[in-house]
Structure 1
Amino acid sequence: MVNTSGSYCSMVRRLILSFIVLLTACSAPAAMSPTATPSPVPTRAPTSTPTTADSTPVVAGYFPDLPRGRTPEGYHYLGRPDAPVTMVIYSDFLCTSCAIHTLDVEPRLIEAFVATGQMRLVYRHLLQLGERSQILAEASECASDFGYFWELRREIYARYNQLYFNTRETVIDLAAGLGIPRDAFTTCLDSHTYQAQVQADYAAAIEEGVYARPVFRIGTEVIVGSQRFETFAQVIERVGQW
């Protein structure tokens, strides 16, 4: 009779030894391979923006020599408060046509009619594009606490397509870049200081029948959408009877 117990035990020992070797190989550190270089983490901007010696923020300036303030209703205006013609702008900060008008047409209108004392601009908030529009409208009002409403407004429109993402953080950076103290601005924004005001502004615009964007009310005439400078000029001159 062949004795198989010895060979069987030998086979078992070999299997156990093979398993131990395999287990050791799997648990050992893998060979080093090239890894991607980690992207540097962006450094947060300083918690406060450097200011002049008297702590007055350095104004970037959007036609800074023109009169600016608020109407009795609380809307921002630019230009002589007693100008014979008023252009009311109903606009949303995330609106492409609104941005095109603000960047391309509005400066020409200001130079031709506002700087000459013939017209003033009045800005009204539309919140037609959701929560991000609300955040940006509130941010512009927070900027007004430091005299930067028109400046931040322009910066937002210049980068509106970037503000669909990380809206809060991006607009805080834009404000700080203008010289607005970061901490004070952030506190204003996060506490929703102007939430009720901008929502009331939007509700008033709806009551006035404004549903599109942008809308421009010049006297009794209304222009809808971004139009050429010449179109605005014709209406302004007609309303002003010049």
Structure 2
Amino acid sequence: MIHPPSLAIGAIIASIAIVAVIFGLNGTFDESELAIKPTPEMDSIGPAKITMETFLENGSTVYGDPNAPITLVEFGDYQCHYCNVFFETIEGDIITNYVETGKVKIIFKDFNIIGSDSVNASHGAHCAKDQGMFWEYHDILYSNWTGENNGWASPENLTSFAKEINLDMDQWVECMDEKPHSKTILTSNEDAKKLQLTGTPAFFVINSDGQVSKLFGAQPFEVFERVFDEQLEN
């Protein structure tokens, strides 16, 4: 598919998603807390100032129709187990039913919480983005996932992945050496902290009116389907 335990830090995430059953991160959720107040400023999430840029900037290229009415923002770590579960078992259904039909577009943002290989993988994806191939590199990373901090995302393997998707290797290697995307990756991580995220994957569903719903963990496709359909009906 080309497109375009999850680490939980501290206590179990509670009362901030839309359903009581979680497939990924465990927690108890209150449906009444689904909607965050409309952007551009959403101070209810936490003490940091939250704007639409907090969700949409410092991430991937858009996957899907840029004019799609719904935006799905994923904060993920390439070494994260449940991020891989989402990629392997859920994301494809979202792409088939919502992205390819022009209803949803996807943005991926980095939240590096597992190790240095996660950061290096993020650099690899952003260097691929310079050649218009962010999502191809994103996909090959998750397709080669074998665990957390076990070496699958080593510099040597990251280079092999770049070759496999036929990137211009001189350009990609130079980018990896110079790391021009360090600020973007760092800021994306800061955005995740502003949003008080404590694990990956974490998702925000934003409709055309700027209303935001949040989901945590590799939720079943039916949960995403429900949120998308509710947003599309409004």
Q: In structure 1, what is the Cα distance between the partners aligned to 2:3 and 2:76?
A: 20
Kindly indicate whether the alpha-carbon contact (under 8 Å) linking 1:90 and 1:215 is maintained by their aligned counterparts in 2: yes
1:95-131 CA-to-partner distances (Å, cap 9, x unmatched) read 0100111122111101101111111111111111121
In structure 1, the residue matched to 2:16 is: none
1:73 partner amino acid: E
In structure 2, the residue matched to 1:29 is: none
User: How far did residue 73 of structure 1 move?
Assistant: 2.6
Summarize the alignment of residues 53-202 of structure 1 with structure 2, pairs less than 5 Å apart: 62-63=2-3, 73-76=57-60, 77-161=62-146, 164-165=150-151, 167-202=154-189
Q: Which runs of 5+ in 1 are unaligned?
A: 1-60, 65-70
Q: In structure 2, what is the Cα distance between the partners aligned to 1:146 and 1:209?
A: 32
Relative to total residues, which structure has the larger helix share, 1 or 2?
Answer: 1
1:205-237 CA-to-partner distances (Å, cap 9, x unmatched) read 111212221011113221111121111101111
Q: In structure 2, what is the Cα distance between the partners aligned to 1:84 and 1:121?
A: 11
Q: Which runs of 5+ in 2 are unaligned?
A: 5-54, 207-211
In structure 1, the residue matched to 2:33 is: none
**Following TM superposition, where does structure 1 have runs of at least 4 consecutive aligned residues deviating by more than 3 angstroms?**
none
Moved more, 86-95 or 214-223: 214-223
Q: In structure 2, what is the Cα distance between the partners aligned to 1:151 and 1:87?
A: 18
Kindly indicate whether the alpha-carbon contact (under 8 Å) linking 1:103 and 1:154 is maintained by their aligned counterparts in 2: no
Q: In structure 1, what is the Cα distance between the partners aligned to 2:225 and 2:126?
A: 29
1:54-106 CA-to-partner distances (Å, cap 9, x unmatched) read xxxxxxx8248xxxxxx973432111222111111111000010011112211
Kindly indicate whether the alpha-carbon contact (under 8 Å) linking 2:56 and 2:107 is maintained by their aligned counterparts in 1: no
With the length of structure 2 as denominator, give the TM-score of the two structures: 0.70
In structure 1, the residue matched to 2:220 is: 228
Q: In structure 2, what is the Cα distance between the partners aligned to 1:195 and 1:94?
A: 18
Q: Which has the larger radius of gyration?
A: 1
Task: Confirm or deny that 1:209 pairs with 2:149.
Answer: no
Give the 3-state SS of the residue equivalent to 1:164 in structure 2: coil
Q: In structure 2, what is the Cα distance between the partners aligned to 1:192 and 1:75?
A: 15
Aligned-CA RMSD value: 2.0
The number of aligned residues is 176
Identical positions, percent: 23
